[in-house]
A = this chain, B = another copy of it.
């Protein structure tokens, strides 16, 4: 009774089409918002007919869910890649944060999408998004906890600390118009790290930091 081509199987053609449509949806939802984007717009941008969309997705809401997840997934993918060669837990944590901010900077509109449009979805699907966000957070949290366990960070609540970092990164997109007037991304990230490290570093942490990069607080 379900005539939608889900691409769960291994049919590459189907997965291709779904990707093509979602890409258009992410772009338009991000630029204009969910309600200001019509299904026809998405079809045009994807270069297909409007009717075809309904053979790959249940409805417009479905498209929104998948679009948001697509963005969140890209976070989860890109951050570990940026730190994969860094062994030092403090460096790794800092670099992960920098990477996060860079991704947010490169996809400001999409970042905002999740904030703006999640509420437009029904409860069930909102949970799916929340889980995806949690996964990204888990990655960052892991890096922080490593620093705590190494004695470099104080014994704070790692989840709160994670949100602190995550929100700071997101804030770059959410308040872009206010922040961008005053500084560039580089400065913003450095100041954020400065605040964060002052709040987190133990004496041992400070020593570790100065040993690695003397005369630098970051």
Mark A residues whose CB is within 8 Å of B: 3, 33-36, 40, 112, 115-117, 119-120, 130, 133-134, 137, 156-157, 159-161, 163-164, 167-168, 171, 174-175, 177-179, 182-183, 188, 191-192, 194-196, 198-200
Contacts and interface: CB of A to CB of B under 8 A. Distances in A.
Given A36-B120, A120-B33, A130 B177 contact: yes
For the residues of A in contact with B, the DSSP-based class is helix
Given A36-B120, A120-B36, A168-B164, A182 B159 contact: yes
A163 B134 contact: no
Contacts of A112: 119
Contacts of A198: 198-200
A179 B167 CA distance: 12
A24 to B, nearest CB: 15
